[in-house]
A and B are shown apart, each in its own frame.
Chain A
Amino acid sequence: MMEDMSHYPLELTGPDVPMVRFMNVTKRYGALTVLDDLNLDVTEGEMVTIIGPSGSGKTTVLRMLMTLETINSGVIYVDGKPLTHMPKNGVLVPADAKYLRRARASIGMCFQHFNLFPHMTALENCMEGPVQVLGLSKREARERSEELLEMVGMIDKKDQHPSRLSGGQQQRVAIARALAMRPKVMLFDEVTSALDPEVIGEVTNVIRRLVSEHNLTMLMVTHQMGFARDISDRICFFFGGRIEEQGPPDALFGNPQRDRTKQFLSAVKEAD
């Protein structure tokens, strides 16, 4: 059954165009509905953290934004333009591969398991995108990459392969690699979940610096509640594929309104 797309705008206009907009987004895996008619706006420069129990759809939000998952219904807009769809004869139709590549160019992502290229050094990992995708010269790409590796504190290890780096070090390289593409939106998908406790700080500190020094729009999924509270502009609590409750960190953590939020937060606190 084809969804009627006529009520979705071809482009978002006006003074308050959000950097990211999920509009009636539904995602299903077979009979399981992972995202249920989700509406979510993220404004430019905002840091939004998604929390919630496992299976609540929080990682799916990021994966759909990175176009790693297809969409069942609804539309995602990035910077005013549709991401999952493209305009054709005045209506939105599902985006083809060529359109997707153009549309997702402004999005970068870091993964739980880093996903660095094992056959390339830290520096080569960072240069790969700028050279092969953006068409920068090797020299320009190297300058840009070294600057970023410096920022994440990995310049000493730039000639090491990932197999020689610790998890925290690999994740910092992965952040530099994503930033080398100069994204407008950065996605952090449980970037500290696979790390040993003693190295979590080195990764969260890098993200802290990004928040304070850059005007990046960021979406993060994390289980580090203290970290999320510190750096986020807004927290979204997901439950059953919907936003159960959202608000500024102090309000959501300090004075949650919904029962499910309270239950989740007290369960997390106990586990800590």
Chain B
Amino acid sequence: MQWNWEFTYEIMPRMLWATLNTLMAAGVGYAIAVVLGLALALAQRTPYRGLTLVVREVVEFIRSTPLVLQIFFVYYVGPQYGLNLSPWVAGMIAIGLHYASYLSEVYRGGIESVPKGQWEACIALNMTPVKTYFRVIIPQALPPSVAGMGNYLVGIFKDTPMLSVIGVAELMHAANAIGGQHYRYLEPYTIVGVVFLMISLPSAGLIRAFEAWVRRKLGMR
């Protein structure tokens, strides 16, 4: 089997369109994970022992089971309880929740890296717990978290093909469909690989630059 450039050009528009969907899936899923992950991290630090324990177990559970199972679960088990979700919505919930539990661990590490004296200064200034977190602790927990957050951004991007199993029209899904229609898999799968490579490769450098920028922005060196 030989590489067919004509076929490559023919399927390119469809593949690029699917790339946009992949980026959107990664972006939306990550946005959910960033916010929800913070909530999961903070929920484990409240004085309510019961809440801490439940959240801790949920995070452990999600981290210890495969993403693809979670995607199937949300999409196929949901309807049996009257929860009908489109592939997109189900996929975003599953992947967002999955990465939220990973990010919550990143945040936890970042929060624990803030020196004890900072908490004490907040008490001495009589700040509320909410202001303590949002004005003092989280801004300082951010720079040490950026590297981990970046790794999971690349991770979520590379995991988006799993959404094809429930029919989200991202890159992998498009490549499978094209391959099935034309009985040619070489070109579509190669394009998928090249697209992922082109986006993943520069991201490590970008993350490092972003980390430096955050530190500078916060006046910390």
Residues in chain A within 8 A of chain B (CB atoms): 66-68, 101, 104-105, 107-109, 111, 113-121, 128-129, 132-133, 161, 163, 177-178, 181
Q: Indicate if B14 sits at the interface (CB-CB under 8 A).
A: no
B127 to chain A: which residues have CB within 8 Å? 129, 132-133
Decide yes or no: A119 and B139 within 8 Å by CB, A132-B131, A161-B220, A163-B220 being known contacts.
yes
Nearest residue (CB) in B for A67 is B123
B124 to chain A: which residues have CB within 8 Å? 66, 68, 107-109, 111, 115, 178
CA distance A138 to B153 in the complex (A): 37
CA distance A181 to B139 in the complex (A): 23
Report 11 cross-chain contacts, Cβ distance below 8 Å, ordered by A residue.
Answer: A101-B128, A104-B123, A108-B124, A115-B115, A115-B117, A117-B140, A118-B218, A129-B126, A129-B127, A132-B135, A133-B128
Q: Indicate if B209 sits at the interface (CB-CB under 8 A).
A: no
B219 to chain A: which residues have CB within 8 Å? 118-121, 161, 163
Distance to closest chain B CB from A187 (angstroms): 8
A120 to chain B: which residues have CB within 8 Å? 219
Q: Which of B114-163 contact A (CB under 8 A)?
A: 115, 117-118, 120-121, 123-128, 131, 135-136, 139-140
Distance to closest chain A CB from B77 (angstroms): 41
Distance to closest chain B CB from A113 (angstroms): 5
Query: When the two chains form their complex, are residues B118 and A119 in contact, meaning their CB atoms are under 8 A apart?
Result: no
CA distance A72 to B125 in the complex (A): 24
Query: When the two chains form their complex, are residues B218 and A129 in contact, meaning their CB atoms are under 8 A apart?
Result: no
A107 to chain B: which residues have CB within 8 Å? 124
CA distance A118 to B126 in the complex (A): 18
Query: When the two chains form their complex, are residues B125 and A181 in contact, meaning their CB atoms are under 8 A apart?
Result: yes
Query: When the two chains form their complex, are residues B117 and A119 in contact, meaning their CB atoms are under 8 A apart?
Result: no
Nearest residue (CB) in B for A111 is B117
CA distance A114 to B118 in the complex (A): 9
CA distance A178 to B123 in the complex (A): 11
Distance to closest chain B CB from A71 (angstroms): 15
Q: Which of B99-119 contact A (CB under 8 A)?
A: 115, 117-118
Interface of A is mostly: loop
A68 to chain B: which residues have CB within 8 Å? 120, 123-124
Query: When the two chains form their complex, are residues B126 and A115 in contact, meaning their CB atoms are under 8 A apart?
Result: no
CA distance A220 to B109 in the complex (A): 35
Query: When the two chains form their complex, are residues B117 and A104 in contact, meaning their CB atoms are under 8 A apart?
Result: no
Interface size, B (range): 20 to 34
B118 to chain A: which residues have CB within 8 Å? 115, 117
Query: When the two chains form their complex, are residues A116 and B126 in contact, meaning their CB atoms are under 8 A apart?
Result: no
- A-facing mask of B166-195, CB < 8 A → 1, else 0? 000000000000000000000000000000
Contacts A105-B126, A118-B218, A181-B126 known; list 13 others, CB within 8 Å. Answer: A113-B117, A115-B120, A115-B121, A117-B118, A118-B140, A119-B218, A119-B219, A128-B125, A129-B125, A129-B127, A133-B125, A163-B220, A181-B125
CA distance A101 to B132 in the complex (A): 13
Nearest residue (CB) in B for A178 is B124
B120 to chain A: which residues have CB within 8 Å? 66, 68, 111, 115
CA distance A181 to B126 in the complex (A): 9
Q: Indicate if B49 sits at the interface (CB-CB under 8 A).
A: no
B117 to chain A: which residues have CB within 8 Å? 111, 113-115
Distance to closest chain B CB from A92 (angstroms): 22
A109 to chain B: which residues have CB within 8 Å? 124
Nearest residue (CB) in A for B220 is A118
A108 to chain B: which residues have CB within 8 Å? 124
B136 to chain A: which residues have CB within 8 Å? 117
A111 to chain B: which residues have CB within 8 Å? 117, 120-121, 124
Distance to closest chain B CB from A17 (angstroms): 22
Distance to closest chain B CB from A183 (angstroms): 9
A128 to chain B: which residues have CB within 8 Å? 125, 135
Nearest residue (CB) in A for B47 is A97
Distance to closest chain A CB from B89 (angstroms): 37
